[in-house]
Structure 1
């Protein structure tokens, strides 16, 4: 039932090809403007920096791809190069994984430190906050004060 309604709605919409191309151009130009602005603010994201393999390992792999196999000696050279590449791959992956673990541990440590500091200074900050700033004090809410004011207003009318 829903699909049929969607098809009917789509059939009832009539756009000319010039309108569609204009919309497509606007969309693509806005996408490029957003990307340009993001690059200006954040800089270019270098995808190679997040690679697990080092440049040296990638160069060895490229050399192995180019090697020609014409004799048994060439097969032995390829096998030796493959062993070297596999050792370097393991080393590179371990290095990258260790780096990620260190970054994660530091992130957790930073969060823990922030919580400890916040817990230590929150009491003094709350005590120095004026009563009018109820929404910014722990244990006090703006809705509680609005409710209290509403009740006081009702009591004042009775008097």
Structure 2
């Protein structure tokens, strides 16, 4: 689900903003898109209420990332309250005008695959961002449980 639509509480808006800042700290030439999915019958089948989807676009093709844009899907647990939701996985995919060029998922071996994966330096940065996303949601979950 588009990150813009998931922003229904201060806590989730803060988490989304933190993810944007994490990404932009590693790739300062990117811009965030909180609504990467168009609202139509084609994309409705991908609408997952337990994910936060955002994209990062580069003004020109990123040599490091080997793409013009990166779609990020943060998969959340199916807990009812956002305070107790945790990240169960992060998926990334790099795209250009020809379509999808590479994919990455935090499930399994955390490896990149595809036609033109990012350069090793960018792969490491993207893995670090994913680790930080897990930490961000884990810390927020622990602090909200502690407050109860």
TM-score bin, normalised by smaller chain:
under 0.3
Highest relative contact order (Cα 8 Å, sep 6+), 1 or 2?
2
TM-score by length of 1: 0.26
Greater strand content: 2
TM-score by length of 2: 0.28
